[in-house]
Amino acid sequence: MTDRYHRQTVLPEWGPQGQLLIKKARVAVVGAGGLGSPSLLYLAGAGVGHLTIIDHDVVETSNLQRQILYRTDEVGQLKAELAQKQLLRLNPEISITIHTTQLNDDNAHQYLADHDIILDAVDNFATRHLISKTSQILKTPVVFGALQGFDAQLSVFPPQGPCYRCLYPQEPNWKPQGANRGVPGPMPGMLGALMALEAIKIVLNQQPESQQLMDIQEGYILTFDGRTGESARRKLSKQANCPLCG
């Protein structure tokens, strides 16, 4: 075990055996933007053995206020390619696969198969529903994060449900469009870090000692209001009529 991971392996919830589990883990991150950037940095730093990055977008100047993987002189370049280079500079001990084609019905199974965890770090409902549907087929847990301005949501959708469609059977009517889709830079940073933490906890909870010390957000929705600093955790019920997991 290298010194790189010493500050986490000394934790009783982690330990050397936990780090071996982290090293063997395969995590797919869909979206390398506001949520994906901090998630990927912390997953790579923790030593997750293999990361798959799925993002077809290029860096825009307006991204730089919150998408902390990228720099001004990289505007116009593919996010997935830039992320791969930056993360390997951070931790050359891991491996990274990138896909620069948008996730769709034709490639979702191929791109997401053979992973232990999927991180839903996208910003549109069509892709979220596609991730949910594919994860149910693959029996893979999904770490979900969503933002609207100062409001954040976090959950873990297990293969047996409840799933994303239980939370949103139909597209919510509150989602802002166009120029109204504002977000303070620190909000995706905070939420992306929490998403990475949930993914790490899922891996570590394969060892009994970790299960006794940590809970994941499986079956719950954690909400946070950045305006007041207030958070709440409520139970998410599996819907009997859910077309995916019911």
pLDDT confidence bin for 95, thresholds 50/70/90: very high
User: What percent of the chain has pLDDT above 70?
Assistant: 95
Evaluate if residue 174 carries a pLDDT over 70.
no
* pTM for the structure as a whole: 0.94
Residues 171-196 have a mean pLDDT of 78
Cα within 13 Å of Cα(180), Cβ side: 4
**Tokens 């799933």, located at residue:** 163
Q: Which amino acid appears at position 14 of this protein?
A: W
CB 27 within 8 A of CB 202: no
Cα within 13 Å of Cα(90), Cβ side: 20
| DSSP code of residue 102 | P
Q: In the prediction, which pLDDT does 243 show?
A: 83
Q: What is the rounded distance in angstroms from the CA atom of residue 15 to the CA atom of residue 9? A: 4
Evaluate if residue 178 carries a pLDDT over 50.
no
Name the least confident of 27-36, 122-131, 135-144. 122-131
Q: Topology of 3-235 in CATH? A: Rossmann fold (3.40.50)
Whether omega for the bond prior to residue 188 falls within 30 degrees of 0, making it cis, is no
Which residues, including other chains, have CB under 8 Å from residue 224's CB and lie 6 or more apart? 151, 152, 154, 190, 191, 230, 231
CB 22 within 8 A of CB 203: yes
Residue 157 has a CB neighbour count (10 Å cut-off) of 29
pLDDT confidence bin for 2, thresholds 50/70/90: confident
Between helix 79-90 and helix 36-46 the angle, nearest 10°, is 30
Which residues, including other chains, have CB under 8 Å from residue 235's CB and lie 6 or more apart? 219, 220
